[in-house]
């Protein structure tokens, strides 16, 4: 792949895989696909959901609430989640089976307990920047391909921000899976991304974009 192109792997972590705390259905099916994609890219970066135990997105930190409920957190609408991706735990780690030997950098997000961070670029209030944007710009990257978990949350918001920031943005549709809290959320996410001008492609067609 040309040197102006990067692969961004979003939150491919134990807790989002089957058996994990916030398991994405069939999330494990993307692992071999991601490994088949990696050789096409010179620049590969990853994001990592990385929460303190007292994070405000955890239902367990709001008495009387259940995962899936919505609250207002510091003025922003927030879906409550099970405790997941707590910093330093196995759930926050990457699966051993994933080849990480060529990853250039990892961007942690969700560290601030007061605000969630779905996008790999900014928190949900867009107050803090993870450094991913500058990293890509300094590396001369102008095209990004996105894969990972979960399609209807972190993948979607990372792709939308990439596009808004001016990167030519591609989603590899078979290298992502949706949480689908509401049935159809994954399909809606794809429609939203296409409407935003993001190119959606299957991994088998990647060579056409090299």
Q: What residues are labeled active site?
A: 11, 109, 154
Number of residues lying near ligand VGL (CB under 6 A) = 8
Q: Is the dihedral of CA 146, 28, 184, 157 positive or negative?
A: negative
Could you tell me the smallest distance in angstroms from the CB atom of residue 55 to Zn ion? Answer: 7
Of residues 37 and 151, the one with the C-beta less far from ligand VGL: 151
Determine, following the binding rule CB under 6 A, whether residue 81 of this chain makes contact with ligand VGL. Answer: yes
Could you tell me the smallest distance in angstroms from the CB atom of residue 4 to ligand VGL? Answer: 26
Could you tell me the smallest distance in angstroms from the CB atom of residue 16 to ligand VGL? Answer: 6
Determine, following the binding rule CB under 5 A, whether residue 49 of this chain makes contact with Zn ion. Answer: yes
Determine, following the binding rule CB under 6 A, whether residue 147 of this chain makes contact with ligand VGL. Answer: no
How far, in whole angstroms, is CA 117 from its chain's centroid? 10
Determine, following the binding rule CB under 6 A, whether residue 122 of this chain makes contact with ligand VGL. Answer: no
Determine, following the binding rule CB under 6 A, whether residue 154 of this chain makes contact with ligand VGL. Answer: yes
How far, in whole angstroms, is CA 196 from its chain's centroid? 17
Determine, following the binding rule CB under 5 A, whether residue 11 of this chain makes contact with Zn ion. Answer: no
Contact (Cβ atoms closer than 8 angstroms) between residue 23 and residue 82: no
Determine, following the binding rule CB under 6 A, whether residue 149 of this chain makes contact with ligand VGL. Answer: yes
| Residue 15 near which of Zn ion, ligand VGL, none (CB within 5-8 Å, type-dependent) | none
Determine, following the binding rule CB under 6 A, whether residue 28 of this chain makes contact with ligand VGL. Answer: no
Could you tell me the smallest distance in angstroms from the CB atom of residue 81 to ligand VGL? Answer: 5
Q: Print burial letters for 167-200: b (CB count within 10 Å at least 16), e (below 16).
A: bbbbbbeebbbbbbeeeebbeebbeebeeeebee
Residue ranges in contact with ligand VGL by CB under 6 A: 11, 16, 49, 81, 149-150, 153-154
């Amino acid at each position: 792949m040309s040197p102006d192109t990067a692969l961004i792997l979003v939150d491919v972590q134990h807790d989002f895989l089957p058996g994990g705390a916030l398991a994405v259905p069939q999330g494990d099916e993307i692992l071999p696909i991601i490994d088949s994609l990696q050789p096409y890219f010179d620049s590969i970066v990853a994001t990592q959901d990385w929460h303190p135990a007292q994070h405000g997105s955890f239902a367990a930190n709001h008495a009387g609430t259940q995962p899936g409920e919505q609250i207002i957190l510091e003025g922003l609408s927030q879906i409550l989640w099970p405790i997941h991706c707590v910093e330093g735990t196995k759930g926050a780690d990457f699966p051993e089976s994933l080849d990480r030997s060529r990853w250039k950098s990892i961007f942690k997000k969700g560290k601030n307990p007061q605000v969630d961070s779905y996008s790999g670029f900014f928190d949900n209030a867009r107050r803090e920047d993870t450094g991913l944007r500058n990293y890509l710009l300094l590396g001369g990257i102008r095209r990004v391909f996105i894969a990972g978990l979960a399609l209807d949350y972190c993948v979607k918001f990372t792709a939308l921000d990439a596009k808004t920031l001016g990167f030519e943005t591609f989603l590899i549709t078979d290298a992502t899976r949706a949480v689908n809290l509401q049935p159809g959320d994954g399909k809606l996410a794809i429609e939203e991304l296409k409407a935003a001008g993001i190119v959606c492609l299957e991994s088998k067609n990647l060579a056409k974009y090299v």
